[in-house]
Amino acid sequence: MSIPTQNVPAFGLGTFRLQGQVVIDSVSTGLELGYRVIDTAQIYENEADVGQAIAASGIPRDELFITSKIWIANFARGQLIPSMRESLSKLKTDYLDLTLIHWPSPEDQVPVAEFMGQLLEAKRLGLTRQIGISNFTVDLMKQAIAAVGAENIATNQIELHPYLQNRKVVDFATANGIQITSYMTLAYGEVLKDPVIEQIAERHQATPAQVTLAWAMQLGYAVIPSSTKRANLESNLKALQLTLNTTDMAQIAELERGHRLTSPKGIAPQWD
């Protein structure tokens, strides 16, 4: 399938919930299999492990695309950029390819304009090539655009899978030239047991995971599935070669049911 040119590469490796030797092995295996996009975050507490795996791989830095996310405790003035420098040190790199605000500031404790302004400054300083947001609603995207301009927001990384297609957020982002990165694209494995997706997979002689990842990429979203198993890491990559037809896409579109899996208490915004 042809992937449109985007700010964020279409396919990457997520590291959420993986730590220590587990994440080192996952990233090492992924890099060995051909993954070149790695997604981590300050709150995952695995940046140093990810950095170790990347360094050990010997892959030139300019062939990699590394994303990390700023945690809400580091939004206050004078804290965001030092926290980024710490992330860079752990990741053993001079710059990030993409840095995201992980969640909006709870109850607007730090205004959007304040943390987005600092993030843009980090870009000007060369600490990151691109900046973006994560878990932002339409209202929060409007505030972020007012603060730094839509052209400076590479992506909004959101929970998005066949059971939560997040169309309101997607439509607003797309209209403003902000790419969508889908996390939890497989809904913690729930969609892999879906009869509709199983049938589509059978028709294409593919796996349900490949079908779901191909569906998201065909809609123009970037995906960052994670796995600790080599076979799954290898299999997921094959989603890049899979093209679904309009019937397949229409059938998956009908699976929307507003089924949200991530909404941390005290942190999550009022969802659209």
Using the CB atoms, write b or e for 54-64: b if 16+ within 10 Å: beeeeeeeeeb
* Interatomic CA distance for residues 19 and 22, integer angstroms: 6
Residue 73: CB atoms within 10 Å: 10
pLDDT tens readout for residues 177-217: 999 999 999 999 999 999 999 999 999 999 999 999 999 99
How much is the pLDDT for 6? Answer: 57
Handedness of CA 109, 113, 114, 118 (dihedral sign): positive
Q: Which structural domains are found in the chain, ordered by start?
A: 13-188+220-239 (3.20.20.100)
The residue-averaged pLDDT of 22-47 equals 98
Residue 82: CB atoms within 10 Å: 10
Round the average pLDDT of the chain to a whole number and report it. Answer: 96
pLDDT tens readout for residues 99-150: 999 999 999 999 999 999 999 999 999 999 999 999 999 999 999 999 999 9
For residues 141 and 178, the answer to whether their CB atoms sit within 8 Å is yes
The residue-averaged pLDDT of 27-36 equals 98
* Interatomic CA distance for residues 229 and 104, integer angstroms: 32
How much is the pLDDT for 63? Answer: 97
Residue 35 designated active-site:
no
The residue-averaged pLDDT of 24-44 equals 98
Residue tagged active-site, from 35, 44, 183, 221:
44
* Interatomic CA distance for residues 54 and 256, integer angstroms: 37
Token pair recorded at residue 120: 């843009």
How much is the pLDDT for 145? Answer: 98
Beta bridge partners of 13: 38
How much is the pLDDT for 175? Answer: 97
pLDDT tens readout for residues 221-238: 999 999 999 999 999 999
Name the DSSP class of 243: -
For residues 72 and 106, the answer to whether their CB atoms sit within 8 Å is yes
| Binding site per annotation, positions for substrate | 102
Consecutive H or E run containing 36: none
Alpha helices in the chain (DSSP H): 20-33, 47-57, 80-91, 112-124, 138-148, 167-175, 195-204, 208-218, 230-237, 246-253
pLDDT tens readout for residues 39-81: 999 999 999 999 999 999 999 999 999 999 999 999 999 999 9
**Is residue 7 very low, low, confident or very high in pLDDT (cuts 50, 70, 90)?**
confident
State percent of the chain over pLDDT 70: 98
Quick check: pTM over 0.85?
yes
Length of the chain: 272
- Pairing status of strand 96-101 against strand 222-223: unpaired
How much is the pLDDT for 4? Answer: 39
